[in-house]
Amino acid sequence: MGKSELLIVILTLFGQSLCQVTDQTRQPEARGPQVVEAVVSYISESCIFPSDKLYLRRLAYVESQDGMNASTYRPGYYGGIWQVDRDKFMLTQTSSALNTYRDEIRQKLYIDWSRVSWSDLTKPLYSGLAAALYTYLVAGQNGVPRGVEYQSTFWKNTTRPNLDANIFYKLANQLTRGCSRNDNLDLVFVLDSSASLSSADFDSTKYFVGSVLDQFNVGKVRVSVVVYSTSVSAAFYLNTYNTKAEVQKAVDGIQRNAGSTRTDLALNFAVDNVFTIAHGSRPGAAKVLILLTDGKSENRVATMAAAARAKTRGINVFTIGVTSAIDLEGVG
């Protein structure tokens, strides 16, 4: 099997396995849509609370982009994925209006809420429960309103009086629900175009990208290409093109620019500028970065750090070694 076929198999499995991730709901500082959906369905299946009309799911995305926002877990702040502030958390412990809910949490989930501390909310399940308790406390008799529009006002009224309700509205509407499917993939190729690669190597890199894309429904799978040597730039972003033909044409037109191999800069660029909502990355999609390089990075330590950083943002990094043999292998 050639490298491109192998990669296609990996990517295909990737999309399919996303619904069966290991349980991270009690793991401190876990993040991502899968964890959020696991917490939300766990809370909903416990039947402790009345229906929240998707509010809790939306709230996780509005407050921290499912924990993917870089400032979700920050020094001195423990509100977790649902960003439950300390004063609100204290209310969930002391308010007598929540007695019944706290009893049920003890009986059904074996969590004694009076012994939970604010810092426990770095565990997604605890953050979600705190958000649910607070929500039912402030919703009172009326319950949680139905529909994104009313929930936006409810959120402003009860949780973020200094922010515009429209923030909730816009973010909640970006959310696509359900498990990620195979084609729910944001795929970013990062191409080494440094002087250590010959121009034939660079051509085979482009050929490789094309042969991987051939196997996917481009449009549903969003694709971006980043090219780097001494500096980094995006040839196109995840939301630049919608069809395979456009993407292929753009890939064919990419010029090699020689220079040194700053893989660290390229990875950081992809994390900060490409896997962003503004540039077409979707909250529910699997995020995969494929690095095509000869491996001779200028700065190995910085490169490892950048790869680790990508991983903490929920981006899966694959490295493919570039040699002029890629195209032979790819065909064979």
Ligand X SMILES: *[C@@H]1O[C@H](CO)[C@@H](O)[C@H](O)[C@H]1NC(C)=O
Task: Give the interface with ligand X as residue ranges (CB under 6 A).
Answer: 65, 69, 71, 145, 150, 153-154, 157
Cα dihedral across residues 28, 29, 33, 39: positive or negative:
positive
The CB-based long-range contact list for 245-253 (8 Å cut-off, 24+ gap) reads 247/213, 247/218, 247/223, 248/210, 248/213, 250/225, 251/206, 251/209, 251/210, 251/213, 251/225, 252/206, 252/210
CB of 54 to ligand X, least distance (A): 15
CB of 56 to ligand X, least distance (A): 16
Q: Where in 77-203 does DSSP place strands (E)?
A: 185-192
Buried b (16+ CB within 10 A) or exposed e, 211-238: bbbeebebeebbbbbbbbbeebebbbbb
* Residue closer to ligand X (CB basis): 239 or 257: 239
CB of 158 to ligand X, least distance (A): 7
* Residue closer to ligand X (CB basis): 55 or 241: 55
* Residue closer to ligand X (CB basis): 22 or 71: 71
* Residue closer to ligand X (CB basis): 31 or 256: 31
How far apart are alpha carbons 99 and 53 in whole angstroms? 22
Token representation of residue 241: 């093109």
* Residue closer to ligand X (CB basis): 69 or 93: 69
CB of 62 to ligand X, least distance (A): 9
Provide CB contacts within 8 A for 26, sequence distance 6+.
123, 124, 125, 126
* Residue closer to ligand X (CB basis): 109 or 165: 165
CB of 188 to ligand X, least distance (A): 17
CB of 118 to ligand X, least distance (A): 17
